Amino acid sequence: MPQPSEPLRKLGFLTIGLFDPADPRSGHESTLAMIELGERLGFDSAWVRHRHLQFGVSSPVAVLSAASQRTTRIELGTAVIPLGWENPLRLAEDLATVDLLSGGRLNPGVSVGEPMHYVHVKQSLYPQTADFEDFGFERVSRLLSFVRGDKASDFSGQVGFEAFSDRVEPHSPGLGERMWYGGGSLRSARWAGEQAMNLLTSSVVKAEAAEVSVDFAEIQLAQIREFRAYHPDGARARVSQGLVVIPTDSASPEQRAKYEAYAASRMPRTAQPQGPARLMFAPDLVGTSAEIAEKLYAHAAFRAVDEVAFALPFTFEHEDYVQILTDIATKLGPALGWMPGN
């Protein structure tokens, strides 16, 4: 397991991309500005959350397409695209297009499950097939097949002046190796490993049985081990951890107070599993970079990974995110042995 003497290899961040419904462009521009700042600070990756019928980025692929033209080095990821809202063939076309435009920097993260509030949206989303849609792993399998270049049609050839392919076009070689699954259970971790995907872990896991340990770090570590046990690359299989960290090194007194209040308001949900799904939430880590680094090295699951995409809090102002990102890159990252990219 990595120890303080072993450096963090990849440092990324994740943003929800909130916007004011009366002025949505400004929020999207703020998200793009943060990605540009992330590249200047040397981050290895920037990830965008996905929200439907909310006031957060609903089309991360489009946002990352814009980001690909404003950056040259930083990797661009989705964390995660809920495939219940998507047609896998059409999504494969969009992902390949953006990957080519970015120069091979796209890292698509996906998940499965019934769309949120499905009973209220199903007639708009699937008016003819709402009760027959499959929201399980098969949807990811189809996407992987199309991204990796398998046949999507039983026809190819020339019709008049038009040429037709039997696979999704454009095809972006290498994209299939950069597909991520956002999982929080042993079953999803095992399945992602069997598909040779990469694994995105977050600040939410599932305590799947009443007798299981309710220590968040131990649950997450068990899932990482399960994933690697079933992955062809074994211990070398890529896992990225996404805890919420809020360094305060350069924060003003007012910012520190706001950050501490935010974390305190969310702390009660971390005490025990929540709801029928028995979801466990990790505490937000607030403090100086030295204090956060100490807590991370005490975290069993963090010690099992060498790349992270720290999640930014949901509801802060742009200047808060600038301060947090700057401290992560200039203080926390180095405290974890990370070196900025060029």
pLDDT exceeds 70 at position 3: no
C-alpha–C-alpha distance, residues 63 and 209, integer Å: 39
Residue 250 CB-density burial (10 A; 0-12 exposed, 13-18 middle, 19+ buried): middle
Confidence of residue 208 (pLDDT cuts 50, 70, 90): confident
| Cis amide bond preceding 80, omega within 30 | yes
Output the six-digit token pair for 258: 């706001």
C-alpha–C-alpha distance, residues 307 and 107, integer Å: 14
Confidence of residue 77 (pLDDT cuts 50, 70, 90): very high
What pLDDT does residue 222 have?
Answer: 95
What pLDDT does residue 142 have?
Answer: 98
Mean pLDDT of the chain: 95
Least trusted range by pLDDT, from 61-65, 206-210, 316-320:
206-210
- Asked if residues 46 and 86 have their Cβ atoms less than 8 Å apart, the reply is no
State mean pLDDT over 292-316: 96
Residue 156 CB-density burial (10 A; 0-12 exposed, 13-18 middle, 19+ buried): exposed
- 233-276: per-residue pLDDT in tens? 999 999 999 999 999 999 999 999 999 999 999 999 999 999 99
Helix intervals (H) in 6-137: 24-41, 60-70, 88-102, 118-125
Q: Name the percent of the chain lying above pLDDT 70.
A: 97
pLDDT exceeds 60 at position 1: no
What pLDDT does residue 212 have?
Answer: 61
What pLDDT does residue 194 have?
Answer: 98
C-alpha–C-alpha distance, residues 143 and 340, integer Å: 33
- 20-58: per-residue pLDDT in tens? 999 999 999 999 999 999 999 999 999 999 999 999 999
What pLDDT does residue 6 have?
Answer: 79
- 103-161: per-residue pLDDT in tens? 999 999 999 999 999 999 999 999 999 999 999 999 999 999 999 999 999 999 999 99
Confidence of residue 342 (pLDDT cuts 50, 70, 90): low
C-alpha–C-alpha distance, residues 134 and 112, integer Å: 10
Nearest to 12 by CA among 43, 48, 50, 35: 43
Q: Name the percent of the chain lying above pLDDT 90.
A: 94
